[in-house]
Amino acid sequence: MYNVKKVIIYIVLQIYKRGINVINLSILEELSNSFGPSGFEDDVTKIIQKHCREMDVNIDAMNNVYVELKNNNKKRPVIMLDAHTDEVGFMVQAINENGLLSIVQLGGWHITNIPAHTVYIKNRDGKLIKGITTSKPVHFMTASERANNTLEIEDIYVDVGATSKDEVVNTFNIRVGDPIAPKVEFDYNKELEVCYGKAFDNRVGCFCIIETLKLLSREKDLGFDIIGAFAAQEEVGTRGAQITSQVVKPDLAIVFEGSPADDLYYSKGIAQSVLKNGTQIRNLDQGYIGNHKFIRYAEDIAEEKHIKFQNAVRRGGSTNAAKISLFNKAVPVLVLGIPSRYVHSHYNFCAKADIEATVKLAYEIIVSLKDNINKIL
């Protein structure tokens, strides 16, 4: 009689060896649900540590996380896998006498997306306090206010249900400088195979690094040292990547990004970030021109392995590639995006198939590079 457990393990290993992804969406659920606006990524780093405990993990003073494969020998070229851990959020700027919290943005929000949503404030005890981003009821607006659709961040507050500044400070232990982030619970629609949650920019990228590292850890001789670099504070100026690139000193890099989906705004054939159309290979954005050799190599691998992909020439936006590509004497960087609807808002959608395509392409590229590095460098 076969040992059932051994048979299952054998089958799973064979699947991984063939480069077919068996992704664990429960990890993405943890990452998406975790509280982590820019500068306050601690909960996210703990989840990364938890799921990379069989690898070597280090964290620096900025909260950047470095995960190395056990078989790295520090004598080979280095491939860096990058994604950022932070999400767009807010910070308490002041506490008003009526108990409302004035806020400032952490990252790039459009003001009209902010009001009338549920958020968490993390207080000085580390406790998450529920609040609502305020919107003035139409009943109390003047005729000129109703006709004026403009909005400033100074017009938006967070209400925790308090009636005074004293209650905010002494009952909730909230102080000026405390961080705020959207409160959204992850969900997965099995029929559509679509994920729903918050912070897919860029917890889905963090998830891709974890899954790619797990696949690569089963390979005996990659010919490279592989380091996952989970960067903090991307949403406030790609600050973490400026540090991680100096620490890792990559020869090549792959950046994973929850990329804004445009499938609802452009016609078919024009849209370049479409759900269920595969991983997005980014050719250009405001901070980066893609390395054409690396891009062509990735496209060739994708076609050979029948991995769906879509190219993107972005008119706006940027990623950590802007910083990483400029390290030392320049680094070839490939940006792989997972199309995600409504990024930089409270709620997102992305497709499981696009995550799988992204992980599989990254894996297939890396395992094939040992004998083909001259095609890029």
pLDDT, averaged across the chain = 94
Q: Are the C-beta atoms of residues 89 and 181 closer than 8 Å to each other?
A: yes
Out of 15-29, 125-139, 362-376, pick the least confident: 15-29
In angstroms and rounded to an integer, the radius of gyration of the C-alpha atoms of the chain is: 22
Condensed to tens digits (0 to 9), the pLDDT of residues 26-39 reads 999 999 999 999 99
- What does the alpha-carbon distance between residue 276 and residue 163 come to, in Å, rounded to a whole number? 47
For residue 179, the cross-strand partners are: 91
Q: Does the pLDDT of residue 343 top 80, yes or no? A: yes
Mean pLDDT in residue range 361-367: 98
Condensed to tens digits (0 to 9), the pLDDT of residues 129-145 reads 999 999 878 888 888 87
- What does the alpha-carbon distance between residue 174 and residue 167 come to, in Å, rounded to a whole number? 9
- What does the alpha-carbon distance between residue 227 and residue 241 come to, in Å, rounded to a whole number? 13
| Domains of the chain (ranges, CATH numbers) | 16-87+198-375 (3.40.630.10), 89-182 (2.40.30.40)
Predicted local distance difference test score (pLDDT) of residue 174: 98
Predicted local distance difference test score (pLDDT) of residue 311: 98
Q: Are the C-beta atoms of residues 323 and 286 closer than 8 Å to each other?
A: no
User: 165-169: long-range contacts (C-beta < 8 A, 24 or more apart)?
Assistant: 165/95, 165/96, 165/97, 165/98, 165/99, 167/99, 168/95, 168/99, 168/101, 169/95
Condensed to tens digits (0 to 9), the pLDDT of residues 145-190 reads 788 878 899 999 999 999 999 999 999 999 999 999 999 999 999 9
Condensed to tens digits (0 to 9), the pLDDT of residues 274-321 reads 999 999 999 999 999 999 999 999 999 999 999 999 999 999 999 999
Dihedral angle, C-alpha 219, 44, 76, 302, nearest 10 °: 60
Q: Does the pLDDT of residue 49 top 50, yes or no? A: yes
Q: Does the pLDDT of residue 15 top 80, yes or no? A: no
Nearest CA among 227, 221, 223 for reference residue 209:
227
Is residue 77 exposed (0-12), middle (13-18) or buried (19+ Cβ within 10 Å)?
A: middle
Q: CA torsion sign, 351 to 199 to 286 to 83? A: negative
Condensed to tens digits (0 to 9), the pLDDT of residues 322-340 reads 999 999 999 999 999 999 9
Nearest CA among 220, 228, 200 for reference residue 45:
228
Nearest CA among 194, 239, 236, 208 for reference residue 360:
208
DSSP 341-368: ETTTSS-EEEEHHHHHHHHHHHHHHHHH
Condensed to tens digits (0 to 9), the pLDDT of residues 189-204 reads 999 999 999 999 999 9
Predicted local distance difference test score (pLDDT) of residue 203: 98
Predicted local distance difference test score (pLDDT) of residue 22: 74
Q: Does the pLDDT of residue 17 top 50, yes or no? A: no
Residue 11 CB neighbours (<10 A): 10
Nearest CA among 25, 35, 182 for reference residue 103:
182
Is residue 188 exposed (0-12), middle (13-18) or buried (19+ Cβ within 10 Å)?
A: middle
Q: Does the pLDDT of residue 9 top 60, yes or no? A: no
Q: Are the C-beta atoms of residues 230 and 84 closer than 8 Å to each other?
A: yes
Dihedral angle, C-alpha 61, 65, 69, 73, nearest 10 °: -30
Q: CA torsion sign, 241 to 321 to 17 to 32? A: positive
User: Six-digit token pair at 262?
Assistant: 């445009």
Predicted local distance difference test score (pLDDT) of residue 5: 56
Condensed to tens digits (0 to 9), the pLDDT of residues 209-268 reads 999 999 999 998 899 999 999 999 999 999 999 999 999 999 999 999 999 999 999 999
Amino acid at 340: S
Predicted local distance difference test score (pLDDT) of residue 144: 84
Nearest CA among 253, 256, 266 for reference residue 333:
253
Predicted local distance difference test score (pLDDT) of residue 255: 98
Q: Does the pLDDT of residue 19 top 50, yes or no? A: no
Predicted local distance difference test score (pLDDT) of residue 8: 54
- Residue 300, C-beta contacts closer than 8 angstroms, at least 6 positions apart: none
